[in-house]
Amino acid sequence: MCGIIGYIGGQDAAPILLKGLKKLEYRGYDSAGIAILGAGGLTVRKSRGAIKNLEEKIEAELAGGVLAASMGIGHTRWATHGEPSDVNSHPHTDVSGTIAVVHNGIIENHVRLKAWLQKHGVVFRSETDTEAVAHLIDLHYNGDLLQAVVEAIKRLEGSYALAVISRDDPDRIIAVRKESPLVIGKGGGENFIASDVPALLEYTRDVYYLLDREIAVLYRDKVEFYNGDGQSIEKNVAHVDWDAGAAEKDGYEHFMIKEINEQPKALTGALRARIQADTTDTGQDAQGAMPVKAINLQEIGFDSSWAKANRVVITACGTAWHAAVIGKYAFERYARIGTDVDIASEYRYRNPISNPQDIFIIISQSGETADTLAAMRMAKKSGARVIAITNVVGSTLAREADLVMYTWAGPEIAVASTKAFTTQLMCLYLIALQFGVLRDVLSGEELAQSIKALEDISGQAERILKDKETIQRFAARHFSKSKVFFMGRLFDYAVSLESALKLKEISYTHSEAFAAGELKHGPIALVDESTLVVAICTQTALFEKMESNIKEVKARDAATLVITYEDVNYFDQSADEVFRIPRLPDGLSPMLSIIPCQLYAYYCAVQRGLDPDKPRNLAKSVTVE
């Protein structure tokens, strides 16, 4: 939700903190602040709004050298407790202004802590849960900041990533996390803290991933690690080999359009190395001409033991949940196995029936979504085995699942998920098809046809993207429509769900998705001349049914756009406009049919003068409930 940065070394800390905060701004942008510790003591500067507000506020001080210091911590906030304001911005300090704390997460017992601290004479200034942490550390401070943090976290309930500095214990920063992400960057004569790796790539590629209740103590020339009880522990450094440029905008106006355009490459990345010549065969097909290909998921440890499952349960939130819905259709179709799909925030509070024979697939771009992690832990408790599909190496989900299938989409910065979605689908299809093979229910012909289609998809996605001006023009005509409905059947219904979410989250247009067959059961009452209906039509056997639905909404004066295959003329008479995508087997169509809908959402947001990368009220990573 919030972004944390920390620096200790030989350079001027404030510019490094500001730069890091900009890289983390996608995590929250209600307010920003820094605390630096130098010859002038502990100095805190913070401001409501975007990081540029903070920059403007301290511009003169920076230029005048007033803020010179070689260590500090910074924060960009997504408000949970207390409105976005200067006083609620982080860092928070104790009463005397000796200790400064930045925090990502929610301290669930903060009301009780506050009452207890007030009894000890503490006067609170902000409405935040974080301020209690600063006072708590101060109360436990007895000349050793590390020990004070150890004592303080014993009393914290909820989730936290914390970075702490103290004027009385200079030359080190203490960092600790529980259920909120935090990485430590190891440099030469300098060390860093960040909420995620891209914020560090400019300085170092050597990182330590902190686990729950682990503490890092950063000095200029070393980092020490402790467990939550303050006992020294060893940790291994990991080397990050991401392309730093991949985390930048590469000349695109927004991260979102960059990431939409990266999908051909990302889809190849998700597929690469998972399709191989079948070594169980002669390597030749029946005619002895073409090498026979197979899906190989050995890399993730998916072997025949997994095929004994009775049921698959897929759990996720938001866009990842839409991928899960498509996964259900894919598992039923290609593997003939009963599949349930659950929204993680619902699953965790139900009394679900699961057993050790179930396989859980948990999907999360970030691998840090609080509800998704809670659902995974419940699944594991029931004895079921868990496969994680995630984009973030070393994320909590990746570490705790039994198997991990990385989407290899590269860093996704825009709040609206795009390339993570299509690569999640690629992973789900690969598992579903391989499941079908292991369960002996998928014909060799359908497997070969599907593998060929998966290999072609990247090039086909590129062709759609070359035609993006068609969607841009369509958005220019329709962006002011007050209602946009997406409808489809089967896989197309699931794509409609994701399309409606994309449009509402970045363009603030009221958009909904309907299973087209449900139209007459209520939603059609909403349709009038102010409505745009986008019909996704890639399920060939259901074209006639879809055509009837399109005629029904047209008869109520809605404008209509159909998305279908390039070789289909079926809808030319019934729809106002038709956008064509390359032909592929109907079951695999979501990986392509979503692309024009992502583009439509993006261009509508731009037409409305909005910043698609930073939609109001949303954050990239939802690490609290």
**Which residues are designated catalytic?**
2, 620
Q: Does 372 bind ligand M6R (CB under 6 A)?
A: yes
DSSP assigned state of 91 = P
- Give me the residue label for tokens 């997994």: 306
Residues comprising the chain, all counted:
625
Identify the three-state secondary structure at position 73: strand
* Residues 309/336, Cβ–Cβ less than 8 Å: no
Bridge partners for 406 per DSSP:
390
- The least distance separating ligand M6R from the CB of residue 362, rounded to whole angstroms, comes to 9
Nearer to ligand M6R, 146 or 618 (CB): 618
Q: Does 319 bind ligand M6R (CB under 6 A)?
A: yes
Q: Mask 36-75, x = binds ligand M6R (CB under 6 A)?
A: ----------------------------------------
* Residues 293/278, Cβ–Cβ less than 8 Å: yes
- The least distance separating ligand M6R from the CB of residue 622, rounded to whole angstroms, comes to 5
Query: Which token pair is 560?
Result: 């209509």
Q: Mask 200-239, x = binds ligand M6R (CB under 6 A)?
A: ----------------------------------------
Give the one residue of 180, 417, 422, 507 binding ligand M6R; rule: CB under 6 A.
Answer: 417
Stretch that binds ligand M6R, among 141-149, 333-341, 361-369, 487-495 (CB under 6 A): 361-369
Three-state SS sequence of 176-228: EEEECCCEEEECCCCEEEECCHHHCCCCCCEEEECCCCEEEEECCCCEEEECC
Q: Does 315 bind ligand M6R (CB under 6 A)?
A: no
Phi, then psi, of 200 in degrees rounded to 5:
-105, -15
Nearer to ligand M6R, 317 or 591 (CB): 317
Stretch that binds ligand M6R, among 67-75, 204-212, 364-372, 510-518 (CB under 6 A): 364-372
Give the one residue of 80, 166, 369, 589 binding ligand M6R; rule: CB under 6 A.
Answer: 369
Q: How far is CA 431 from the centre of its chain?
A: 21
Identify the three-state secondary structure at position 230: coil
Q: Does 366 bind ligand M6R (CB under 6 A)?
A: yes
| Number of Cβ within a 10 Å radius of residue 190 | 21
Q: Does 364 bind ligand M6R (CB under 6 A)?
A: yes
Nearer to ligand M6R, 199 or 542 (CB): 199
CA–CA separation, 245 and 105 (whole Å): 29
| Residue of minimal Cβ distance to ligand M6R | 318
Nearer to ligand M6R, 366 or 509 (CB): 366
Residue ranges in 477-506 that form contacts with ligand M6R under rule CB under 6 A = 505
DSSP assigned state of 413 = -
Q: Does 320 bind ligand M6R (CB under 6 A)?
A: yes
Q: Does 416 bind ligand M6R (CB under 6 A)?
A: yes
Stretch that binds ligand M6R, among 350-358, 402-410, 414-422, 522-530 (CB under 6 A): 414-422
Nearer to ligand M6R, 414 or 454 (CB): 414
Give the one residue of 182, 223, 317, 454 binding ligand M6R; rule: CB under 6 A.
Answer: 317
| Number of Cβ within a 10 Å radius of residue 354 | 17
- The least distance separating ligand M6R from the CB of residue 320, rounded to whole angstroms, comes to 4
Q: Does 535 bind ligand M6R (CB under 6 A)?
A: no
Q: Does 395 bind ligand M6R (CB under 6 A)?
A: no
Nearer to ligand M6R, 25 or 138 (CB): 25
CA–CA separation, 565 and 490 (whole Å): 16
Phi, then psi, of 164 in degrees rounded to 5:
-135, 135
Angle, alpha carbons 181-182-184 (nearest 5°): 155
Give the one residue of 145, 415, 453, 584 binding ligand M6R; rule: CB under 6 A.
Answer: 415
* Residues 141/166, Cβ–Cβ less than 8 Å: yes
Angle, alpha carbons 541-546-550 (nearest 5°): 160
Q: 487-513 burial string, b = 16+ CB within 10 Å, else e?
A: bbbbbbbbbbbbbbbbbbbbbebebbb
- Residues of the shown chain interacting with ligand M6R in the complex, contacts defined by CB under 6 A: 317-320, 364-366, 369, 372, 415-417, 505, 618, 621-622
